[in-house]
């Protein structure tokens, strides 16, 4: 049985519809990330699951029970907020105690749960402190602790790492992943950061303008993006997108022409406008005498250590290539590149749908 099920869930504020018919199955113990740019409806979806927003249409179930009209407190969920939402006047211990009050547990049990959670999160030394005396990372751990002590069926995370600096973000991200392995609780996690999504998720739900674009494992959404939006949103640096048209069995783009790869043979039609998606890693430097080589100008070279990024101008196209650092050439160099069409993605230019095989 699924832990959480959304069937055709919609959300509307007056005349504005912000979530359009979301369908989603979350299995027990699964770590699911809602990913998308701001305004895509991911936080609204999470808040509907929490019960902080009403569901306008569709059906929302938690643990097999329809909860559209169930109060937040009766949904068996606990939430960790972006800005921690700690009670500023209470100590760390009191913050956790207050979350336990509605459960009406015995003093011993309260004590045991707080100490155990504090132990797991490394908060034992900080129990007597107030939020103002803690660092951002510590506050985030207290917020998680406050959710954990209640041993909920589902954890909801609303961009929990956005207020942390880059280094701390990596560390807390790792801690959240480890915690999920240890507790095995179902997690629904909202973020706009694809790295968080890729590293933490069992399943990623990519949203855009209130619609679900794709649901899949990190591997699937990276290797097999179903739309050009998913293709450009996942992966860093972003996938290069080139407008082209199918003419006489060839891909004709501004500045180059290439036979349609055999695996797309039946999938494209004559005269169709397509978008070619090529990851930076699928562009390599080539010799001028290579028949498929395209002349390119290196506008900027960015050295990243192991690899280097080249900002290239190829005809009218601006492309980014990721190459081994030792092959890099200085900015301003005129060189040749080759696009690896075996690893390319094709999208219909009109619908943005992938033309790749499933």
- Residues interacting with another protein, by CB under 8 A? 50-52, 71-75, 77-79, 81, 83-90, 98-99, 101-102, 130-133, 146, 150
Q: Give the shortest CB-69-to-another protein separation in angstroms.
A: 15
Closer CB to another protein, 26 or 99, in the complex? 99
CA–CA gap between residue 94 and residue 114 (Å, rounded): 10
Nearest CA-CA partner of 278 in 232, 311, 309, 245: 232
Query: Given the complex with another protein, which of 114 and 204 has the nearer CB atom?
Result: 114
State the minimum distance, in angstroms, from the CB of residue 44 to another protein.
14
| Smallest distance from another protein to CB 13, Å | 14
From the CB of 247, what's the least distance to another protein, in Å? 56
Greatest C-alpha distance within the chain? 80
Considering the complex, what minimum distance in angstroms separates the CB of residue 86 from another protein?
7
CA separation for the pair 249, 243 (Å, rounded):
16
Closer CB to another protein, 89 or 250, in the complex: 89
Q: How far is the CB of 88 from another protein (least distance, A)?
A: 5
The span from the CA of 134 to the CA of 125, in Å, is 11
Q: Which is nearer to another protein, 38 or 269 (CB)?
A: 38
DSSP per position, 283-341: EEEE-TTSTT-EEEEEEEEEE-SSEEEEEEEETTEEEEEEEEGGG---TT-EEEEEE-G
| Cβ 7 to another protein shortest distance, Å | 23
Name which of 148 and 294 has its Cβ closer to another protein: 148
Dihedral sign for Cα atoms in the order 276, 281, 285, 289: negative
Choose between 78 and 126: whose C-beta lies nearer to another protein.
Answer: 78
Q: Output the CA angle 16-17-19, nearest 5 degrees.
A: 150
HEC per residue, 215-240: EECHHHHHHCCCEHHHHHHCCCCCCE
For another protein, give the closer residue by CB, 64 or 72. 72
CB 118 within 8 A of CB 129: no
CA pseudo-torsion sign 12, 13, 17, 22: negative
Q: Print burial letters for 87-106: b (CB count within 10 Å at least 16), e (below 16).
A: eeeebbbebbbebbeeeebe
Between 86 and 319, name the residue whose CB sits nearer to another protein: 86
Cis status, amide bond into 237, omega within 30 of 0: yes
Question: Nearest distance from residue 43's CB to another protein, in Å?
Answer: 12
């Amino acid at each position: 049985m699924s832990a959480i099920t959304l069937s055709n869930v919609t959300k509307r504020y007056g005349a504005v519809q912000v979530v359009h018919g979301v369908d989603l199955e979350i299995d027990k113990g699964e770590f699911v990330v809602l990913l998308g740019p701001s305004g895509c409806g991911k936080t609204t979806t999470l808040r509907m699951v929490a019960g902080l927003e009403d569901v306008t249409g569709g059906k929302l179930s938690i643990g097999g029970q329809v909860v559209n009209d169930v109060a937040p407190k009766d949904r068996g969920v606990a939430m960790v907020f972006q800005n921690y939402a700690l009670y500023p006047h209470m100590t760390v211990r009191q913050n956790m105690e207050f979350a336990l009050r509605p459960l009406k547990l015995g003093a011993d049990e309260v004590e045991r749960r707080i100490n155990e959670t504090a132990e797991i999160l490394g908060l034992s030394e900080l129990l007597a402190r107030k939020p103002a005396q803690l660092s951002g990372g510590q506050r985030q751990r207290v917020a998680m602790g406050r959710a954990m002590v209640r041993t909920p069926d589902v954890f909801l995370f609303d961009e929990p790492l956005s207020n942390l600096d880059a280094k701390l973000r990596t560390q807390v991200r790792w801690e959240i992943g480890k915690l999920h392995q240890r507790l095995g609780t179902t997690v629904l996690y909202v973020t706009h950061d694809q790295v968080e999504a890729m590293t933490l998720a069992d399943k990623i739900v990519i949203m855009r303008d209130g619609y679900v674009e794709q649901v899949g494992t990190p591997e699937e959404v990276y290797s097999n993006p179903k739309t050009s939006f998913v293709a450009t949103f996942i992966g860093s640096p972003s996938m290069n997108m080139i407008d082209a048209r199918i003419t006489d069995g060839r891909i004709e783009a501004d500045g180059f022409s290439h036979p349609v790869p055999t695996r797309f043979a039946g999938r494209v039609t004559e005269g169709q406008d397509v978008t070619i998606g090529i990851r930076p890693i699928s562009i390599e430097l080539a010799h001028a005498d290579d028949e498929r080589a395209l002349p390119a100008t290196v506008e900027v070279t960015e050295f990243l250590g192991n690899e280097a990024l080249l900002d290239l101008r190829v005809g009218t196209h601006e492309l980014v290539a990721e190459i081994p650092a030792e092959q890099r050439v200085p900015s301003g160099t005129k060189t040749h590149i080759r696009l690896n069409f075996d690893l390319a993605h094709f999208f219909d230019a009109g619908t943005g749908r992938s033309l790749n095989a499933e």
